[in-house]
Chains A and B, each alone.
Chain A
């Protein structure tokens, strides 16, 4: 919402310097986004009327115009299509500098015709952005009037309004807040206007089919108007609002929309059959052509303005609350106007505008809520303004259906202000504030007032709303700073997985954060699970799904850093399976260690396994890696793929990226792991230090090379008795004299008795059990 300073001053009186006004508005919650200084029309530009217009012979578009500037006639050459006799426009006299066009006007000759000045478009004047033709003004001012006198410089406050403040979408609402803050009297623009007589007969009729959708509709008749350009003062204000002036009748309706916040629409009375204006839901299959030139297919949830079709039905002529129709509006030859001023159901209007993708000044206000009581007064005011600028007579009667419900009263305790805001505002001052905003205050009881908000404040419904109003006017700068004394002891948990993140960073991994958005194609390329969540309104097909795994993002990141000789990346984030879960994933590629001047140590599986082991060891967790079923982890190399069990629970996978997947990302190769979080730690329990020596035996087990070591260890652990304390492999050998497909795994076992040294024969008995178990499993022992 743009608010011109001069307009505010007309309603509240003189204002302080611009920066102070900005602070005042910001402090009222009417945030100023920026302040724009608009220029005056330059000195040397005067109002002139075209009295002759003839084509220049040597040109296909230039016109030789004779203009009357009030004191003399001048010949001026113009190329504008609206260079026509009778037009009152802007003449820049020779010597005038036009900053907007960066041009100094000089007397000169064009195609042999002398041109004593220049007729200007609004853009050339710096007035507003329109270069389609010459500026056009009404005939309310004497010719020769310097236009800078009626088009002075203007300061415009651009407000970023919150959606609750429907009332501030009119200059009046902003002025009311300022007046209340400054303790000024508000000069209401319609203070002297009186609504037309409901009982009078104006030959018009309003029919409302669904009163819930259109609770209040007024139709005001104005006869004898002359449609033409608006006076300069009106154009000046519209330009400051950021609007383009059109014709006087339409300009007034736009002016009032932005002043009172009440949209209205002026119909050419000839369009309303029998003077009947109908407000009704659209029928299935109906279409309507709107002012923007497009034709819209209507939905029964849309609300239309219609007029009888002479066959017992009615034809839609406009989309209620959103946009007027192409054929119903005032035209150049309109003389009788029916002005529709209404209150519509905000939800209905909002849905309709959204459905048709329309965003208009009218819908913006109706969807936030226009004062339901305002239509009769706004009709009288708007009609008076139309008659002032376009001539004509306002009919003394008003056709009207419906009305405004009385606003609900709010129980209000003035003590609630110090309670919530923690500052003191005397009840009498609170009352002044509330009344200045338009509330009716019944303060008979000390701390149990009844406050009735004005009809234009949709946002005031509960006591806290009134506390905010008092606080806003008193000023938030009075709020102190305290710390509440609460009986609350926070639990110290780690929901952001900070320890893990820091650990991985210390392990040399760079943390990345990826988009949760992905696409089917990207998921397929990474061989990740298919998406379970699809967006209804994505930013492109490649961002239309939610990720089902983290590692595809890491592959993307690896592909995006081809220059890096060594990559270690991790991400902690959420994946969108059902239900959503938190995961960690990491990627290793290139050199695990390098110095650049000796051969690199390429990343290999043991680095991945080693990291898992360190993570587990630091958490005293029980880690088990098992060969993964390749169908289960299609993104991994089938020969280097592990399922990861953490304290006995499957949490994810680790392995080498499948060569075909690596190829798809243009990677030489990479290792990835992805695990569900949290990676739980076991509770710390410190045991006594072992004081007995252990006894050690080695065994070389020969087994097919697809028998995982983990199986052999399980076999050993199962047979070695309960004094076994440690098992680990210390050599793996394949080759002669072993058969193809066989390998020998040398396993070292350690036994310990808690209280005494073990005797050799005890250990040998345990070893014999192990040997027996290995043989029973079909494997052999390699001797020597």
Chain B
């Protein structure tokens, strides 16, 4: 009988079959259980010995079942693991990775720099009036300085802003000094489009007004920006020039190593100067000084990151956009 039970156990292929073996031998009506019940019918002198024998058999069967259970479990686990195997080298499943436009990344980087320097970010309309784009910025009517701005006019006499400077006036009209603001945004020039010129591009402009702002404060702000963009100790340069809305006026450049040529050279970035008294007058300000500086974002995105053609920014070619991913 022992051998028969063992054969039953060994024959069980899975846990369910093993459970049936357990019932058959050890269940309430199982053969061992029956034998144990039958002990009472034996004479008392045999009962003890028979009891010990049956219990030994029972324990042996239990041990065999347990051993078999472990074996079956291992086999089932192994089978499951084998069945669940995948080829982890096949491509994953998802949509596009997504990413920000390079111009947005560069703008955000700059805004981070200016936020760290205590500037507030403001934005304004792209469709502007002659007053905000020119008049209030000290461009007299019929002045040749207007020709340099290659303006897109609308049929109803408005214009697409040629620079972010209209926000100087709009901000001053609604805020009192002192303040430090920075204005990012799209601007428009009606020039022939080529690899370095677009009819639409982006500028960033800073305006600081207080009781006693100086040209050195302007230089300092440009220096801090240069340090943040190109590393501590970057050289900066101001040279006199003319913009109607600043006096004195200057253009500024940053000394850097061109990533392609490896040459040290001046990267001419933009214009700057002390806010012209006529601009303050147009905004109703008195007894303050201030500085402003502005520059094109495209240039700061093209030269350092090797974008060869400004039109790439606006052509929405995925093969280009996908290259915009990654850290600056």
Spell out A's residues near B (CB within 8 Å). 26-29, 31, 162-165, 346-347, 350-351, 367-368, 419-423, 459, 462, 464-465, 467-468, 471-472, 476-477, 479-484, 486-493, 495-496, 498, 501-502, 504-517, 533-539, 543, 546, 553, 556-557, 560-561, 564, 566-569, 573-574, 576, 579-580, 591-598
Q: Is the CB of A479 within 8 A of B242?
A: no
Is B49 located at the chain interface by the 8 A CB criterion?
no
Q: Is the CB of B220 within 8 A of A508?
A: no
> Hey, which chain A residues are within 8 Å of B322, CB to CB?
510
Interface string of B105-147 (1 = CB under 8 A from A): 0011001000101111111011100000000000001111101
Q: Within residues 203 to 243 of chain B, which ones have a CB less than 8 A from any CB in chain A?
A: 208, 210, 212-221, 223-224, 236-242
Q: Is the CB of A539 within 8 A of B247?
A: no
Q: Is the CB of B217 within 8 A of A484?
A: yes
A367, A482, A561, A573: which contacts B317 (Cβ < 8 A)? Answer: A561
Knowing that A488-B180, A511-B100 are A-B contacts, what are 18 other residue pairs whose CB atoms are under 8 Å apart, sorted by A's residue number? A31-B241, A347-B141, A367-B144, A420-B289, A464-B277, A468-B248, A479-B218, A481-B220, A482-B216, A484-B210, A496-B123, A510-B322, A516-B160, A560-B315, A569-B316, A580-B126, A593-B93, A595-B93
Q: Is the CB of A163 within 8 A of B147?
A: yes
Q: Is the CB of A508 within 8 A of B144?
A: no
Q: How far is the CB of A513 from chain B (nearest CB, A)?
A: 5
Q: Within residues 247 to 264 of chain B, which ones have a CB less than 8 A from any CB in chain A?
A: 247-251
> Hey, which chain A residues are within 8 Å of B80, CB to CB?
none
> Hey, which chain B residues are within 8 Å of A579, CB to CB?
125
Q: Which 7 A-B pairs have the closest CB atoms?
A: A29-B240, A422-B216, A468-B248, A490-B120, A162-B242, A557-B316, A595-B93
Q: Is the CB of B200 within 8 A of A517?
A: yes
> Hey, which chain A residues are within 8 Å of B215, CB to CB?
420-422, 471, 479
Q: How far is the CB of B266 from chain A (nearest CB, A)?
A: 10
> Hey, which chain B residues are within 8 Å of A480, CB to CB?
216, 219-220
Q: Is the CB of B118 within 8 A of A509?
A: no
Q: Is the CB of A533 within 8 A of B248?
A: no
Docked CA distance A486–B177 (Å): 9
> Hey, which chain B residues are within 8 Å of A162, CB to CB?
145, 241-242
Q: Is the CB of A476 within 8 A of B250?
A: yes
Docked CA distance A568–B95 (Å): 8
> Hey, which chain B residues are within 8 Å of A482, CB to CB?
214, 216-217, 219-220
Q: How far is the CB of A705 from chain B (nearest CB, A)?
A: 30
Q: How far is the CB of A413 from chain B (nearest CB, A)?
A: 14
Docked CA distance A727–B95 (Å): 31
B179's nearest neighbour on chain A, judged by CB, is: A488
B236's nearest neighbour on chain A, judged by CB, is: A481
B93's nearest neighbour on chain A, judged by CB, is: A595
Q: How far is the CB of B133 from chain A (nearest CB, A)?
A: 14
Is B27 located at the chain interface by the 8 A CB criterion?
no
Spot the interface stretch: B54-62, B71-79, B148-156: B148-156
Q: How far is the CB of A226 from chain B (nearest CB, A)?
A: 39
Docked CA distance A566–B219 (Å): 48
> Hey, which chain A residues are within 8 Å of B93, CB to CB?
593-595, 598
Is B314 located at the chain interface by the 8 A CB criterion?
yes
B90's nearest neighbour on chain A, judged by CB, is: A597
Is B276 located at the chain interface by the 8 A CB criterion?
yes
With contacts A422-B216, A546-B127 taken as known, whether A490 is within 8 angstroms of B95 at the C-beta atoms is: no
Is B195 located at the chain interface by the 8 A CB criterion?
no
Interface string of B168-182 (1 = CB under 8 A from A): 000000000011110
> Hey, which chain B residues are within 8 Å of A510, CB to CB?
96, 98-99, 318, 321-322
Q: How far is the CB of B20 from chain A (nearest CB, A)?
A: 38
> Hey, which chain B residues are within 8 Å of A569, CB to CB?
316
Q: How far is the CB of A535 from chain B (nearest CB, A)?
A: 6
Docked CA distance A484–B217 (Å): 6
Docked CA distance A77–B77 (Å): 106
Q: Is the CB of B95 within 8 A of A593?
A: yes
Q: Which of B178, B240, B318 has the most CB of A within 10 A?
A: B240
Q: Is the CB of B248 within 8 A of A420?
A: yes
Q: Is the CB of A533 within 8 A of B127?
A: yes
A498's nearest neighbour on chain B, judged by CB, is: B108
Docked CA distance A122–B251 (Å): 40
Q: Is the CB of B186 within 8 A of A516?
A: yes
Q: How far is the CB of B51 from chain A (nearest CB, A)?
A: 53
With contacts A163-B145, A493-B121, A496-B108 taken as known, whether A566 is within 8 angstroms of B95 at the C-beta atoms is: yes
B96, B153, B274: which contacts A536 (Cβ < 8 A)? Answer: B153
A556's nearest neighbour on chain B, judged by CB, is: B316
> Hey, which chain B residues are within 8 Å of A595, CB to CB?
90-94
B111, B200, B239: which contacts A31 (Cβ < 8 A)? Answer: B239
> Hey, which chain B residues are within 8 Å of A163, CB to CB?
143-145, 147-148, 242
Is B184 located at the chain interface by the 8 A CB criterion?
yes
Q: How far is the CB of A562 from chain B (nearest CB, A)?
A: 10
